[in-house]
Structure 1
Amino acid sequence: MVHRLDPLLRPRSIAFIGASADAARIGGMPLELLNHFGYQGKVFPVNPKYQEAFGNRCYPDIESVPEVADLAVLAVAAADVTAMLRRCHARGIPAAIVYASGFAEAGAAGAALQDELEAFVRKSAMVVAGPNCMGFANLNHHAYTAFASIFKKVPAQHEPGRVSLVTQSGNVCSAVFAQVRQQGVPVSHFINTGNEASLEFSEYLEFLAADDETDTVVGYIEQLRDGKRFVRAALEFARRGKPLILLKAGESDKGSEAVRSHTSALAGKQALYKAAFRQVNAMQADDFAQMGDLAWLAGFRQRRGGRRVAILSISGALGAIIADKLIAAGHEVPTLPAALQEALRRGIPDYGMVANPVDLTGNIVNQPGFVRTICSLLASTDAIDTVLVYAPGYLMDRMADALSQTCAEHQRLFVGIDTGSGSCHARLAQAGVPVFNDLGRALRALAPFLHWMARRDEVGHWAALRAQTAAAEPATEARGMNELQIRQWLTRFGLPQMAEAAAADEDAAVAAAERLGYPVALKILSADISHKTEAGGVRLALTDAGAVRAAFREVVASAGRHAPQARLDGVLVQPMTSGVAELLLGVSIDPVFGPALAVGLGGVLTEIYEDVSHRLLPVDGTMARDMLRDLKAAALLDGFRGRPKADVEAACDAIASFSRAALSLAAAGLEGEINPLLVRPRGQGVAVLDALVLPAGGAGTEVAE
């Protein structure tokens, strides 16, 4: 089946408009690369200044080219681009690459040029890459349209490429390409997206997900313009078992400022990017070297690995260092079963550890055959997922046969770290064992790679949940509700109803308090006052009728002074209650990804410590439990220092219920919050103590604090 990006990324013929016979110029460099690497398609340089360029006849204008090319490459000034695209379209050319800068990234005048270009693309349906784009390369088909010298400066590629690069920067694409090729990883596609006036980052991902010549994608993102499309494309990568490795710029305020200047893109919350990458199981890298290492590790993705790591080391100290680093990265170094330790002890001296890390000691040199036994035992146990072997130089060489034989018989992932330059690295890689020559680099690459391996089932769970979740009915009725009405509305989705009562006057407030039982809390009830505490609208721990009457008068008067135009519906009377912990649940509509859920622990401490877990919706009970585990303060839910254990099951059910309500709110352009959700001791459930609904983006009046 022909994809609409085929003419762009697999062109059979290319017209270069603004071609040059000088390989040092933008219009000449790709022509020289095509000639150098032996492109088999047709090449049509277009420039009235030349008769020929790099052995190809040169034509005075696009109308003179004798055939309709698959692709037009425009090396012309920004002001001339759209007019030239119209001429190409008139010739029937389906796709084009625009090199020129000076568009949306260049102020109002440039933005006007980009608006004109985008309007042409919408009307014509022509596939246009860029502007402000370096061009591409399909290395398997020798189709070079990029003005980049890096292709001739890296190690030559003698095997079909399986890793594709797609970046929102041409220079980053070149830098990452150099790293990947230094690792010996063969590349298929070299893609940089430019300003994305027509083609957004995620459409390239869709193409590469279905591309038979791409097993892995390494990408660089500044800002996504279509987060929902990205999620769909990334989930397709996960479904096909293709690793997606991403570096996201803009983590700091200055980084975000530079990204906006560079790409004129939407600015999504960085925490939601991280949540999205986790949910689609994309590996997030921090720098180019790590991207190259991950691309190399991706070649071992068929092996069976995960977060639970057994460490084999000839040094107890190195074993301890590796364990610390793995645990800090969120992995486990589990104590091995007693029977397995006993089997290991048969060949490891008493002074060597066998619990994990396993200290082989230098004595292993005298028992090379026992290495085979150790490897086989670790490859067979269900207690771990991955085996990490540290042995420098000749010791790694001595262990190579045992590792190779084990990996021929078992799919368990074994990874080597050799700081002594052994001679067996290539042989081990061929056998399925990646070997690093630097400890820090190995652990930095393994951290995201092992998470990727472990989350392959998790991403399938979320993909299935998304597919099963029907479109939500817009909760238009939630607009303008007061706190009591919101809480009653939330019960439709499975959230518990608590004992409470509205009171329009002092007598009704006292009657409600006596019915509910002292002590009680009294809060102003108004859809127009969001921050009740700031409005003086809350009184707590009221113990008798006199206190309730006085509190009623005080909160009504204070709220009237704070917001004279607010509609007051009286007060809300609630019994005082306590629990193990308080959760904050909030849903927002992100401009990039859409509705997203935030869960925090600790009431006001959530904001102080920024201890929040994020997920894109929908979320079910299983995902809710993972969100709670993400929190630094999660120990408070598990009986910290003698406190009772919290009803985590009820909390997870409540989070899942709120997710369903949140989708309904989002469908109506609304955001919402429960703060706090009181979590009681195990078996006693949860209580929604306060709730609010507000327009997306926080504009307008909030309903509750």
Structure 2
Amino acid sequence: MSHALTPLLAPRSIALIGASSNAGRIGGMPLDLLQRFGYAGKVFPINPKYTEIFGNRCYPDVEALPEVPDLVVLAIAAGDVVAMLERCHARGIGAAIVYAAGFAEAGADGAALQRTLEAFVQRSGMAVAGPNCMGFANLNLHAYTAFASIFVNVPPQTVPGRVSILTQSGNVCSAVFGLVRRRGVPVSHFINTGNEATLEYAQYLEYLAQDPQTDCVLGYVEQLRDGARFIDAALAFAAQGKPLVIYKAGETEKGSEAVQSHTSALAGDLAIYRAGFDQLNVIRGQDFAHMADLGYLSGFRQRQGGKRVAIVTMSGAVGAILADKFTLTGLEVPTLPADLQALLRAGVPDYGMVSNPVDVTGNIVNAPDFVRTVFEALARCDGIDTVVVAAPGYLLDRMAEPLLEVCAQYPRLFVALDTGEAQCRQRLAAAGVPVFDDLARCTQALAPFCVWLSRQQATARWAAMRQRPQDHAAADALPARLNEFDTKQLLASHGVPALTGIVARDADAAAAAAAQIGYPVVLKILSADIAHKTEAGGVRLALADEAALRAAAAGILASAQAYDASARIDGLLVQPMATGGVAELIAGVTRDPVFGAALTVGLGGVLTEIYRDVAHRLLPVDAAMAREMLESLKAWPLLDGFRGRPLADVDAACAAIAALAAAVTALGEQVLEAEINPLQVRARGQGADALDALVLVKPRPQPASAPAGQSHPQEETA
């Protein structure tokens, strides 16, 4: 595989500067591992103190090397790194790993040192991993550049690796590796990225996505530095059916700072990470053991499984526990069809359940032929995706043959939960049946794995949506500031239904507009500088006559002046008093610093911010995805006729939400935020309208020719 990272991750020859003959030291451990595990490439230790280390000739300096190695590993102090890299570059070496700490993580001096390193890489084009990096291991090539003792403390690997570990921490990489190997999963790559001064996480993912020896990645992330690149890499994993499992550190919301829209307050960093991972079909790891179990399950990804689970057990209690746990983790335990229940009842005593879970009872030992009937019936059932068989070891051994026969004939995913010490475990696993010996770990790992299997088509569909060409020409015509009337007109031009109203210069014009519209009306302050009109006292509802309207106009203008004396007032906005709504929604798009444009949808009003009952998606979003978002809300029943309420026009709401998303996608990076709040949804068939809307535009640079002190409209933010 040809890739810029190949010399780092699959080197044909390795030099180590700062080499040591002590296998317990940083400069000696990799050399010991290379010899111990039989690396076939050339090894060049470099240290003027030695002539030979671990059977390899040792050279006094990089200039003395007899040939140019693929990779150089620097086990030297931070202050010496850049000068040594300069020498390596002059020697023609194209890739390096820097162990040393003391860079960006070490205060101002370290940050300055890292900037020097970054400048060197920019100038030289050298591929440099780290700094503050433990090093790597390609276990299939026995290429060890990591100073980690874990490799000699786990069961030896006797088959080719297929799972790669990619972390932003060396210690986490070692911990996950140890658990994965003890789970019996063969590892391909051991990678920890360190400070990511010049090579960041998504670049390694790109390599592993096309690596034929990587079927799954187990990752640990503290922060993604290139969200767009990560999205592309994650979609490459999804396209190839490779599970990407990531444990994201930081389980607390940092919240938004200085927000201008309600959407920003609702779209916290962690919430967008979670939504992005779900949309990209990235499995979120919960802990290291969980990741190891998911790495194990990834070996069975070719089986046809999904969220609808059938449970076969010899114990009603175990069946009930499994049903609870699967349901609580997002899977379904559907009632089996009547004809299938009748077939099962023919061999299950009356006191055994057949609806799902299926409690075949201990009598199953007396009817071995019926075991095959049960498994085959479930394998052929269209309403089932995954079958979990829970049994004590000796009973699982008795059921092994029919289970193996059915799995050989049908691609359905069967999973065995051995509550004893079955002798058939290895045979089952080799035949495509994963085996667990712990109920909690089984359910915790199987649930996200089955969700991953079921989400593959949706992820492929979204990936195709992202590939559609976009014309951003309309963004060039965006004014620097948009008041509500301008915003509604802009969104309406992209298909968002909106009550635009009539702009009035003063109270007299407002009275004329109200007479034209017909009372009752709504009166609002019109200013691009006042994002939250209600807080500014800039909104009056249900004005019934001209006297009320004129009083409201005076009050609104006074309140706006008191709220922000510097705000530019464009006038007043008069619009009909909207009635007949079944529900009010908020729909807004913000720019996440990692993932880019993200849509947030929830019920409108202050309760949304209190309960945070919202759904998030990365753009683009269409009407079908908007419906999924609404249906995921806890408040969804309020739109779906809860306790006799009218059914809301969900189709119209979804079309409006999709139009908002399409508008932001079309307008591109020029739009910082866009929001409809509220989106009034009327009864089914009666449509939906944006009653208020906000668009914030990116500030534009001041023309160089502008006289000093002169202000320009294009400098202003909306």
Instruction: Please state which band the TM-score falls in when normalised by the shorter chain.
Output: over 0.9
| DSSP 3-state at the match of 1:521 | strand
Deviation at 1:478, TM superposition (A): 4.5
Deviations 1:104-160 (A, max 9, x none): 011100000000000000111001000000001111111100000000000010001
Secondary structure of 1:672's match?
A: strand
Q: Which 10-residue stretch deviates more, 106-115 or 528-537?
A: 528-537
SS of 1:97's equivalent in the other structure is strand
Distance 1:702 1:332, change over 3 A: farther
Q: Secondary structure at the match of 2:334?
A: coil
Cα contact 2:604–2:677 (8 A) shared by 1: no
Q: Distance in 2 between matches of 1:139 and 1:566?
A: 64
After superposition, the Cα gap between the structure-2 partners of 1:307 and 1:470, relative to the gap in structure 1 and judged at 3 Å, is same
Alpha-carbon separation, structure 2, partners of 1:596 and 1:334:
34
Task: Give the corresponding residue for 2:654.
Answer: 652
- Quote the Cα distance in structure 2 between the aligned partners of 1:207 and 1:416: 34
Match of 1:232 in 2: 232
For residues 376 and 478 of structure 1, do their structure 2 counterparts lie closer, same or farther at Cα, with a shift above 3 Å needed? Answer: farther
**Can you list the C-alpha shifts for 1:637-666, whole angstroms capped at 9, x where unaligned?**
111111111111111111111111122444
Judging changes above 3 Å, is the alpha-carbon distance between structure 1 residues 664 and 29 closer, same or farther for their aligned structure 2 residues?
same
Which whole-Å deviations, capped at 9, do the CAs of 1:260-300 have from their partners, x for residues lacking one? Answer: xxxxxxx9811111112112111111100000000000000
Q: 1:400, CA displacement in angstroms?
A: 1.3
Match of 1:91 in 2: 91
Shift of residue 204 of structure 1? 0.7
Matched to 2:678, the amino acid is P
State how 1:478-497 maps to structure 2 within 5 Å: 478-497=479-498
**242-251 vs 659-668, greater mean Cα deviation:** 659-668
Shift, 1:559, TM fit: 1.3
Question: Partner of 1:342 in structure 2?
Answer: 342
Give the distance between the partners of 2:268 and 2:602, measured in 1 at CA. Answer: 20
Q: Kindly state the Cα deviation for residue 391 of structure 1 after the two structures are TM-superposed.
A: 1.4
> Corresponding residue for 1:261?
none
Structure 2 residue aligned with 1:530 = 531
Task: Provide the rounded CA distance (Å) in 2 between the counterparts of 1:356 and 1:512.
Answer: 65
Task: Give the match for residue 613 of structure 1.
Answer: 615
1:371 matched residue in structure 2: 371
Match of 2:684 in 1: 682
Structure 1 residue 253, shift from structure 2 partner:
5.9
Q: In the alignment, what sits opposite 1:156?
A: 156
Q: After superposition, what is the alpha-carbon deviation per residue over 1:433-456, rounded to whole angstroms, capped at 9, x for unaligned?
A: 111111100000011101100001
SS in 2 for 1:580: strand
1:49 matched to 2:52? The reply is no
Residue equivalent to 1:260: none
Equivalence for 1:259: none
Report the equivalent of 1:60: 60
Is the deviation greater in 169-178 or in 549-558? 549-558
Alignment-derived partner of residue 392 in structure 2 = 392
- Within 2, Cα distance between the matches of 1:475 and 1:539? 35
Which residue is equivalent to 1:263?
none
Match of 2:600 among 598, 601, 621: 598
Q: Is the 8 A contact 2:698 2:717 kept in 1?
A: no
Which residue in 2 is equivalent to 1:586?
A: 588
Q: Give the whole-Å Cα distance in 1 for the aligned partners of 2:646 and 2:268.
A: 39
* 8 A contact 1:638–1:645 mirrored in 2: yes
| 2:709 counterpart residue number | none
Alignment of 1:215-294 (within 5 A): 215-252=215-252, 269-294=269-294
Check 1:533–1:669 CA distance in 2 against 1; reply closer, same or farther (3 A cut): closer
CA distance in structure 2 between the partners assigned to 1:463 and 1:254 by the alignment: 29
Contact 1:5 1:207 in 2 (8 A): yes
Map 1:54-203 → 2, pairs under 5 A: 54-203=54-203
Query: Aligned to 1:16, what secondary structure does the other structure show?
Result: strand
Comparing 326-335 and 570-579, the one that deviates more: 570-579
Shift of 1:329: 1.5
Could you say which residue in structure 1 is the equivalent of 2:303? Answer: 303
My pick for the range that moved more, 38-47 or 566-575, is 566-575
One-letter identity of the residue aligned with 2:306:
G
Matched to 1:178, the amino acid is G
Superposition deviation, residue 586 in structure 1: 1.3
Summarize deviations over 1:398-430 as a string: whole Å, max 9, x none.
221121111100001011112122222111111
Correspondence 1:263-662 to 2 at 5 A: 269-473=269-473, 474=475, 477-498=478-499, 500-576=501-577, 577-662=579-664
TM-score (norm 1): 0.95
| AA at the equivalent of 1:333 | V
- Structure 1 residues 234, 691: CA separation in 2 closer, same or farther (over 3 Å shift)? same
Contact 1:478 1:486 in 2 (8 A): no
Other-structure match for 2:9: 9
Q: What is the rounded CA distance, in whole Å, between the counterparts of 1:204 and 1:239 in structure 2?
A: 17
Q: Distance between the aligned counterparts of 1:297 and 1:247, measured in 2?
A: 16
Q: Distance in 2 between matches of 1:289 and 1:40?
A: 33
Q: How far has the Cα of 1:103 moved from its partner? A: 0.3
Secondary structure of the residue aligned to 2:493 is: helix
Q: Work out whether residues 529 and 701 of structure 1, in 8 Å CA contact, stay in contact via their aligned partners in 2.
A: no
Q: Give the match for residue 703 of structure 2.
A: none
Matches of 2:576 and 2:717, distance apart in 1? 24
- 1:668 and 2:670 are equivalent in the alignment: yes
One-letter amino acid of the structure 1 residue matched with residue 657 of structure 2: I
One-letter identity of the residue aligned with 1:568 = I
Kept in 1, the 8 Å contact 2:498–2:691? The answer is no
SS in 2 for 1:433: coil
CA contact (8 A) 2:522 2:575 kept: yes
Shift of 1:494: 0.8
Q: Please report how far the alpha carbon of residue 508 of structure 1 lies from its aligned counterpart in structure 2 after TM superposition.
A: 2.8
Give how far 1:602 is off.
3.6
- Does the CA-based 8 Å contact 2:626-2:657 persist in structure 1? yes
| Aligned amino acid, residue 372 of structure 2 | R
Equivalent residue number for residue 264 of structure 1: none
CA drift at 1:362: 2.1
Q: Is the 8 A contact 1:499 1:516 kept in 2?
A: no
Mean alpha-carbon deviation: is it higher for 494-503 or for 333-342? 494-503
Tell whether the 8 Å contact from 2:670 to 2:698 is kept in structure 1 after alignment.
Answer: no
Separation in 2 of the partners of 1:432 and 1:484?
61
Residue pair 2:619, 2:661 contacting (<8 A) in 1 also? yes
CA contact (8 A) 1:400 1:424 kept: yes
The CA distance in 1 between the partners of 2:618 and 2:286, in whole Å, is 22
Aligned length: 691
- In structure 1, what residue type is equivalent to 2:59? Y
Per-residue displacement from partner, 1:508-535 (whole Å, max 9, x unpaired)?
Answer: 3233333333322211111121121121
Deviation at 1:545, TM superposition (A): 2.1
Instruction: Look up the equivalent residue of 2:617 and give its one-letter code.
Output: R
Report % sequence identity: 65
Aligned partners of 1:212 and 1:558: how far apart in 2?
66
Query: Tell me, what secondary structure is at the counterpart of 2:383?
Result: coil
Q: 2 CA distance for matches of 1:638 and 1:326?
A: 26
CA distance, structure 1, for counterparts of residue 362 and residue 254 of structure 2: 50
TM-score by length of 2: 0.93
Alpha-carbon distance in 2 for matches of 1:361, 1:455? 34
Question: In the aligned structure 2, how far is the partner of 1:640 from the partner of 1:255?
Answer: 32
Distance 1:252 1:140 in 2: 38
- The question of whether the paired residues in 1 share the 8 Å contact of 2:306 and 2:450 is answered with yes
Alpha-carbon contact 1:530-1:701 (below 8 Å) kept = no
Q: State the partner residue of 2:23.
A: 23
Residues 237, 444 of structure 1: alpha-carbon distance in 2 compared, 3 angstrom cutoff: same
Q: Which amino acid aligns with 2:515?
A: E
CA contact (8 A) 1:469 1:618 kept: no
Give, in whole Å, the separation in 1 of the partners of 2:13 and 2:500: 74
